[in-house]
Amino acid sequence: MRIFGLAGWSGSGKTTLMTALIPEFVARGITVSTIKHAHHGFDVDQPGKDSWRHRQAGASEVMIVSQRRWALMHELRDEPEPGLDALLPRITPVDLLLVEGFKPHPHPKIEVHRPSLGKPPLYPDDPFVVAVASDQRIQELKLPWLPVGSAGCIADFILCHDGRARWPS
């Protein structure tokens, strides 16, 4: 399974780019899954629903299943947050796994950078950033620059990138 990431500061447009890339790959016949890191608490469940009540009662994992989808929720309780390597075996193998966040993990990634945010770029300190997608060219950039609004161009870059990370399928 091929792994490729998007990294950048909050508000840079990572999720917008991710949701533009997914249909681009699907239209090319490539199966895609995603993993997104959240820096805050989140809940995919609704308070008061049966599965929520199961978790509140102390269940370690709760799986909810319907005719259209299933979801497995795992409560960490006092366990540390798992790293990307621990999560990868839980993903059903696909052609391409797109990772949003997980900046420290050593997989090839595109930095989504918006100079207007006033945040420093990540690429000088991250050797796994292989290109920068931005709304404007960055003069001192020694990596490939990709126009952030061109999902087709960025998809081409990802598919042609040589140093791709793979997880054993």
pLDDT of residue 2: 92
Written out in words, the top-level CATH class of the domain with range 2-40+83-166 is: alpha beta
Condensed to tens digits (0 to 9), the pLDDT of residues 90-102 reads: 999 999 999 998 9
Ranges of H-type helices in 7-150: 14-27, 50-56, 84-87
Condensed to tens digits (0 to 9), the pLDDT of residues 1-31 reads: 999 999 999 999 999 999 999 999 999 999 9
- Listed as ranges, residues in the chain with pLDDT below 70 are 40-43, 162-169
For 27: left if phi > 0, alpha if psi spans -120 to 50, otherwise beta; the answer is alpha
How far is 17 from 9, CA to CA, in rounded Å? Answer: 13
pTM (predicted TM-score)? 0.87
pLDDT of residue 42: 66
